[in-house]
Amino acid sequence: METFSFFRVRDPVFGGMAMEKATVRDVEVRGKRVFVRVDFNVPVEEGRVTDDTRIRAALPTIRYLIDRGARVILASHLGRPKGRADDRYRLDPVARRLEEILGRPVRKVDAAVGPEVEKAAEELKDGDVLLLENVRFEPGEEKNDPALAQAWAKLADLYVNDAFGSAHRAHASTAGLARYLPAVAGFLMEREIGIMGRALARPERPFAAVIGGAKVSDKIGVLRNLIDRVDRLLVGGGMANTFLAAQGRRLGNSLVERDQLDTAREILERASARGTAFALPVDLVVADRFAADAQSRVVTVEEGVPEGWAALDIGPETARRYREILAGAKTVIWNGPMGVFEWAPFAAGTLAVAEAMAAVEGTTIVGGGDSVAAVEQMGLADRMTHISTGGGASLEFLEGRELPGVAALMDRKER
């Protein structure tokens, strides 16, 4: 596992003063009760966890604490229960899976706060693990209620945030707690911020970014931030249609954000002024309807998309060009698929990018839920340098925005 004794956030390249955040390595944990915010927001079907990736991602921090005699209190959200108890989102399946992976008992309580939780925390012995109920059952969680944060703070001596996937949320368990306890990062948080931050601030060049997904409006901040940093920017997915429309291309029934055409033109002009190579599709896979079994064919952007048809993937010539561009890169960040990859007829573009990244002799980072799902579906995840566990958090980090869950942690100099 790659390690960092500390990591920087708000580096000058992001427009702020560099800060070195303390990690769990920087504090004494033996015999202490440690409240660890993890991201166990995993898919559950019929009482079983169907993908334990996020649970496994938290294991290095949990095992580090256990091995050093800490008394571990784990807290996570699951789903969107909207501030009330909902049996669909209880963490019992998570507790069972965590216990299996750890190979040791994990005590689960049926509340996130209150007398039952306080008693369970008091009874912990060195090396014990306690899992609280879904923190979003509490109405004060998403409101960052100080009273709720203080109630959790009373359970422990130290706060560790290892939930990068929730670091962009200013909630009681992700940011509020840090006001009442010494607060440091776990190993997953350290790795996420360390690897992505280093790639953005001090990349090995050429530095390329591949941005896809449905809408330009979802990623305006990402595009604007990356234009100033990367050497090559490749765009695909539905959002490419808006850029093509801004250039006067005929898009038929393709998804186009008409209210973002001026924004698209501004981004293209900015890329040109900065000398950033901005690659758009030269051909498209189009379909006569939005369905997996639709009739499809390839058209060039010069000829345009016929009326009644819609672009659902980048075309083979675009895929070839994108592979060629990425082959010479030393750092690549990818966020967003090139098309409707869930349907085989429209998955070739996303597969081409995934295969190209797997062949890169340098740093490759995949962020965003759909991109991660794509590389995992295609069996290429283990060939990437880093697969981010955070969807929205990864996106906001790529925008250069401060993440509340990171900002709340102690600077290393504070120790």
Domain boundaries, the chain: 7-192+402-414, 205-361
**pLDDT value of residue 296:** 98
**pLDDT value of residue 6:** 44
**pLDDT value of residue 13:** 38
**pLDDT value of residue 15:** 35
CATH number of 7-192+402-414: 3.40.50.1260
Q: State the burial class of residue 317 (Cβ atoms within 10 Å of its Cβ: 0-12, 13-18, 19+).
A: middle
Q: How far apart are CA 244 and CA 247, in angstroms?
A: 5
Question: Per the CATH hierarchy, to which homologous superfamily does domain 205-361 belong?
Answer: Phosphoglycerate kinase, N-terminal domain (3.40.50.1260)
* 8 Å CB contact between 275 and 269: no
**pLDDT value of residue 390:** 85
**pLDDT value of residue 372:** 87
- Fold agreement (7-192+402-414, 205-361): yes
**pLDDT value of residue 377:** 87
Q: Which residues are catalytic?
A: 54, 215, 369, 392
**pLDDT value of residue 389:** 86
**Cβ-proximal residues to 180 (8 Å cutoff; 6+ apart), any chain:** 149, 150, 153
**pLDDT value of residue 4:** 36
**pLDDT value of residue 10:** 45
Residues of the chain with pLDDT under 70: 1-19, 413-415
